[in-house]
Amino acid sequence: MTEAIANILSIAGSDPSGGAGIQADLKTFAARGTYGMAVLTALTAQNTQGVSGVHLVPPTFVAAQIADIFGDIRVHAVKIGMIASAEIAEAVARALSSRRGLPIVVDPVMVAKGGASLLESQAVEALTRRLLPLATVLTPNLPEAAALLGEPEAIDRAGMEDQAMRLLALGPKAVLLKGGHLPGGQSPDVLATTDGQRWFEGVRVLTRNTHGTGCSLSSAIAAELGKGKPLADAVAAAKSFIAGAVRTSDALAVGSGHGPLHHFHALWT
């Protein structure tokens, strides 16, 4: 019998321009050979130049969406993106707290590419207290890691290693701290677990088309975990996928700001 395709759920906000959020997550799930599902936490008005408005989904309706998915469909992995408010964080945590053994990737989306805040200040504590302990892996970039820890951004690899380990102490089973904001021509990420640390190297691609990079990486990790890969292998596969999506992004012509990745670079010719 052919093994069923993995079902991956994203709990995140919507990006009508298609580059980030739920739209990027669903593209990533499909590109990685999985079936994507989506629970919306917020609607945004945005394009490649920035976010002009955010409309939150009521927490009870977020919970209802999650309940209906799990009430009917086997979910192989979950990606959590834009949470926006403390109340939504609480609702998502309550809905997932009993799902023991389910891979959960938490991408702590706080600020959009153009600089708009996507997480209320009081929600950081709820995110840290309620969602991080549920995470199979937490995937912050350097500004997000600094915000979670309440300190300046790491500026080198030693600082990244230190912050990754202290984030690990907040409850997630693993932390993938992304080094895309480091200066220089490299874009290294460090994976911290209780067994130690492992670096994943990457070459920086000079392009403006980086909208949704974090959303897509976390979604790719969730897809690979849902297919049964060990965490380190899932991260390696996801990072390779994102590198290709960024490298080929100039094939797209979307907007005049930070353009999207080419999620289907391996499928379209």
Which residues are catalytically annotated?
178, 210, 212-215
Encoded tokens for 105: 């990737």
Residues 267, 269: Cα–Cα separation, whole Å: 7
Secondary element (H or E) of residue 190: strand 189-193
- Strand pairing partners for 47? 50
In single-letter form, the type of residue at position 244 comes to G
252-to-51, 65, 180, 238, 245 alpha-carbon distances in Å: 21, 33, 22, 21, 11
263-to-86, 101, 123, 215 alpha-carbon distances in Å: 31, 29, 30, 12
Residues 6 or more apart whose CB falls under 8 angstroms from that of 18 comprise: 24, 27, 254, 260
Q: Where do we find the tokens 């840290």?
A: 128
Residues 58, 54: Cα–Cα separation, whole Å: 13
Give the closest residue to 220 by CA, choosing from 202, 192, 244.
244
Give the closest residue to 173 by CA, choosing from 138, 127, 136, 126.
136
In single-letter form, the type of residue at position 84 comes to A
